[in-house]
Amino acid sequence: MSPLSRRSFLASTAAIAAAPAVGTAAPLSDVDIAIVGAGAAGIAAARRVVAAKRRCVLLEAADRIGGRCLTDTRPFGVPWDRGAHWLHNPDINPIARVARQTGLDIYQAPPGQKVRIGRRFAREGEMEDFLAALVRANRAIGEAATRELARKSDIASAQVLPKELFDWRQTVEFVLGPFGCSRDLTEVSAIDFARSAERDSDAFCRQGLGALIAKLGDGLPVQLNTPVKQIELTSRSIVEIETGRGRLVARGVIVTASTAVLAAGKIKFAPELPKRHLDAINGLRLGSYDRIVLELPNNPLGLERDDLVFEKAQGSRTAAVLANVAGSPLVTVDVGGKFGRDLAAQGDAAMTAFALDWLGDLFGADLRKAVKRTATTQWNNEPWVLGAMSAAGPSAALIAVPGGTPVPARSALMAPVRDRLWFAGEAVHETLWGTVAGAWDSGDRAADTALKKLGYVTEPREPASAPQRRRR
């Protein structure tokens, strides 16, 4: 039961039982900066604009704030995160810093994880073999990314995995792919993967990360149930925004909608976005990541609080377990990638049946007799999200520039459009993509850039701490 280094992302869905209050938004009218989407990126951007004493409005299509961060208290009577749950690298995480102002309980996650081999835990030597396989895989992907960048090309992460992974290959592929990126490594760019930062330590919020993000949005000028239909950039000095509740005018706009929502054309742009932005949006596709939650009183699995458990997988039909969440009787089973997408498409009953069968095979318990209540998420069907986290495909990490050097897709999406439109969100962060911290930092950075470009502030933005790179 030796520990292993964690790369962990948990993506999100659905309805919150008791949403924290948000500020009363002003009627739709002229503002300095409009912000589309009230997830972590939008909230961070709005906080920055409000701090600069400029007028802003958060336009949220859903009936709640938080985006892919959502804490629910149903049906179990205790909070659980339907979406993102982990605060990675809390010592330098920008959300962890401001979380101390909320009064919510932030605590360190257990430092080690476990691997199940059949109905027993991996022994120390087996864990060393697994960790060595993870190191070899990360190193191989990093080296391939360096080669491909020199060639101005790219390759799928799965194609460069070394043969020396032996019988740990399926587990390594799950941990680095569906669990870490929400997509199979066959669909993940080596360049994009290699640029992501390592997540060596983690923290949790006892009340739920979704509750924390919503708390940080308290008092902001939010308009719920206000989908943006079109953003017009034809004027050199203003932006006209058409919503389901009328039109408003702003000097600038920050768009934090997911790349899946943008690719689906749910927000129109006039004129059309530049080709490099469209290529980046279409290339940074959202993967699939969903959660099955089981209420298991009396701890029939015999696990500790917040234990993270993988299995030595024999194929793609595998998952990750987080046990006794925050000391509750809740056990989450997370599935992702192609298998997770296919399973979720079969519906809640199929997802729950898989979780019970899979855990029963690993722990030898008749869980159907022990389980009380269950819940599942369906993020691929959430209309204003449409998936989990962004991961560039092997042909999409670099965007061609006529007569120039290809640029990373995430950097391309950071570029302003007509000095009036800026994008933000986890997809718009070079190293923290797929994380709430990346979304937050991206929103804060976009707001800072917009405020300066529009002449509202001149003082420099406090730089975020440099994230640790993936270990090789």
Tell me the one-letter amino acid at 337.
G
Distance CA 44, CA 49 (A): 9
pLDDT for 27 equals 53
* Phi then psi dihedrals of residue 312, to 5 deg: -75, 100
Q: How far is CA 275 from CA 80, 82, 278, 280, 401, in A?
A: 40, 35, 5, 9, 10
**Average pLDDT taken over every residue of the chain:** 91
Which has the higher per-residue pLDDT, 113 or 204? 204
Q: Which runs of consecutive H residues, i.e. helices, occur in 201-266?
A: 209-216, 259-263
pLDDT for 15 equals 33
- Joined together, the tokens standing for residue 410 give 């995430």
**79 found inside a domain:** yes
**313 found inside a domain:** no
- Joined together, the tokens standing for residue 437 give 């911290």
**347 found inside a domain:** no
- Joined together, the tokens standing for residue 126 give 């087996």
Does position 470 have pLDDT exceeding 70, yes or no? no
What does the pLDDT look like over 175-204, one tens digit per residue? 999 999 999 999 999 999 999 988 888 999
**22 found inside a domain:** no
Does position 466 have pLDDT exceeding 60, yes or no? no
State the DSSP string of 72-141.
Answer: E-TTTSS-EESS---EESTTT-HHHHHHTTTT--EEEPPS--EEEETTEEPPHHHHHHHHHHHHHHHHHH
SS3 content of the chain, % helix, strand, coil (to 5): 35, 20, 45
**280 found inside a domain:** yes
Task: Mention every residue, 6+ apart, whose C-beta is less than 8 A from residue 93.
Answer: 87, 203, 437
How many C-beta atoms lie closer than 10 Å to residue 225's C-beta?
13
pLDDT bucket at 464, cuts 50 / 70 / 90? low
**Percentage of the chain with pLDDT > 90?**
85
- Joined together, the tokens standing for residue 219 give 């008092």
What does the pLDDT look like over 403-429, one tens digit per residue? 788 999 999 999 999 999 999 999 999
Which has the higher per-residue pLDDT, 5 or 449? 449
Which of 337, 356, 307, 351 shows the shortest CA–CA distance to 116?
307
Contact between 286 and 389 (Cβ < 8 Å): yes
Eight-state DSSP code of residue 67: T
Tell me the one-letter amino acid at 129.
D
What CATH number is attached to the domain comprising 68? Answer: 3.50.50.60
pLDDT for 468 equals 44
pLDDT for 462 equals 58
Q: How many domains does the chain have?
A: 1
Does position 471 have pLDDT exceeding 50, yes or no? no
Host domain of residue 44? 31-107+204-286+387-453
